[in-house]
Structure 1
Amino acid sequence: MANKTHEIEERKMKIDGMEINYARVGRSNHPVLLLPGALGTIWTDFKPQIENLNTDKLTIVAWDPPGNGKSRPPDKTFPNNFYQRNASLAHNLMQTLDYSKFSLLGWCDGGITSLLLASTYPESILKMIVLGAKAYIHPDEIKIYEIYRDINKWSERMRTPMIQVYGEDYFRKTWSDWTDAMLRLYKKQNGNLCKEVLSKIKCPTLIIHGAKDEVVLPEHSTYLEQNIADSTVYIFEKGGHNPHLKYFEEFNNLVTDFLLCQ
């Protein structure tokens, strides 16, 4: 459990001309950057980690990517290079906070950003954990995206926090824009998101996949393990797409053991 005497700091910082919101807790010499999902935020996607990871041994930093959460205005956009843009911004945020070396914990879209960040700046990354991440879009996932384009198809537990953050209109429109971006990248890049850069990742990597994930196909974890040199797969048997929220104690123990092992 985290040491509750450590206070959580949350503020904005200008990075590459953008106002980026971040939260930080802990004063360890091992910083870990948490990267949320597509429209996720610090608090919708990583509240159990920020509040419960061991902040005596880890310094936890979480960010709202541009257009997410409190990193607005401006509204979120999806140019073809938005994953690469976010990877560069996240790296520059950590450098500005004076963390020359740090670890990564990325979920879903944040996992894709993490893969790009670790491959582009290998000298900066100590260790990496990705959950529900992938290097390409499978044709069957296009069908899944179209189903979940309608936010009414989301579970109440996942939809409500997003509406509370964004309001229903912004959330509905921006999620549809994300879906369009995925379809565009699938057609333009033959589904490839970052396959060619995986060989550049040098850090020890833990690939976590929920056995009941209905959004990301299980083959992605196998592909990542086969193409990232120092990597291991852990199948979260109870979990779906977001086991770090529903089973956070078990998840936190897993990632802490990985991050702190020599």
Structure 2
Amino acid sequence: MFREQKIKIGDYYINYLKVGNGPRNLLFVPGAYGSIWTNFKLQVEGFDREKFTLVLWDPPGYGNSRPPDRDFPADFYERDADCAYELMKALKLPTYSILGWCDGGIVSMILTSKHPEVTEKLVIWGSKAFILPHEIAVYDKFRDLDVWSDNLKNPMLELYGEKFGSYWAKWTDNAIYSVLKTREGNICSDRLKEIKCPTLILYGEKDPIVETMHASYLQTHIENSRLYKYPKGKHNIHIKYAEDFNRRVQEFLLQP
């Protein structure tokens, strides 16, 4: 029913899916090692494809945008943001709203800050703009896949096989520590003032990865933003509460 395609963007062959024929264009940005189907299956199936045109993609080195395998230079978030921007240009979609989860939220904030002329609205969840030194312990804990929920772990193992454990260790070692070392913990906090479009921030209050202060910080520092919290939600609120999440986000995106 859904047909993925590949397109050359810079040095990469990017795997993407375009569905729907609605007048409002949406770009979905997955989290670390995420892909179209591991992250957004329930959004592909649940969003109104007569009101929206959805573009979902696997960032460089993730999912089916391989080879090559993923690497993590100091500017990997900016690289993904630039790649997403070029993808939408290549698809001839000049304006769109951006939806990003976890690392994808970071990429979405950077893309929005760099190109406000293309961004209509922004939706982010499970994301943050900085890392504090004590949070390294959280990432070290989740290096062990045994502590992951099956809802998060199993789709990744299906996609990457047994190598996923080593892939995830590479993300932890390179991505997180490079941010702390080269940027003193700043991921994109200096860019938030450049985000002017209406922004919806969603947060699961029991998220074991992202502390609640991050959601409050984003709301405080992004102009024209609002925050909605799921009291019992964890990191994957778009999966656990898909029906409510899809309804709430679509209502926000349809508001004039």
| TM-score class normalised by the smaller sequence | over 0.9
Give the residue type in structure 1 aligned to 2:2.
Answer: I
Q: Distance in 2 between matches of 1:79 and 1:119?
A: 21
1:121 aligns with 2:115: yes
The superposition leaves residues 50-101 of structure 1 with CA deviations (integer Å, 9 ceiling, x where unpaired) of 0110111011111101111100000001100000000000011011100110
Any idea what SS the aligned residue of 2:117 has? helix
Q: Distance in 2 between matches of 1:28 and 1:9?
A: 18
Give the residue type in structure 2 aligned to 1:142.
Answer: I
1:24 aligns with 2:18: yes
Moved more, 112-121 or 183-192: 183-192
Match for 1:177 among 147, 167, 170? 170
Note the 1:1-262 alignment, pairs <5 A. Answer: 8-169=2-163, 171-180=164-173, 181-262=175-256
1:202 Cα deviation from its structure 2 partner: 1.4
4+ residue runs over 3 A deviation: none
Give the residue type in structure 2 aligned to 1:192.
Answer: N
Q: Distance in 1 between matches of 2:2 and 2:52?
A: 13
TM-score normalised by L of structure 1: 0.95
Given that residues 204 and 232 in structure 2 are in contact (C-alpha distance below 8 angstroms), is that contact kept between their aligned partners in structure 1?
yes
Any idea what SS the aligned residue of 1:112 has? helix
Any idea what SS the aligned residue of 2:4 has? strand
TM-score normalised by L of structure 2: 0.97
Give the residue type in structure 2 aligned to 1:17.
Answer: D
Q: Distance in 1 between matches of 2:151 and 2:47?
A: 23
Moved more, 101-110 or 15-24: 15-24
1:187 Cα deviation from its structure 2 partner: 2.4
1:152 Cα deviation from its structure 2 partner: 2.3
The superposition leaves residues 185-212 of structure 1 with CA deviations (integer Å, 9 ceiling, x where unpaired) of 1122111001111111111100111111
Given that residues 199 and 224 in structure 2 are in contact (C-alpha distance below 8 angstroms), is that contact kept between their aligned partners in structure 1?
yes
Q: What is the aligned residue count?
A: 255
1:172 Cα deviation from its structure 2 partner: 1.2
1:17 Cα deviation from its structure 2 partner: 2.4
**Unmatched 5+ residue regions in structure 2?**
none
Q: Distance in 1 between matches of 2:187 and 2:78?
A: 10
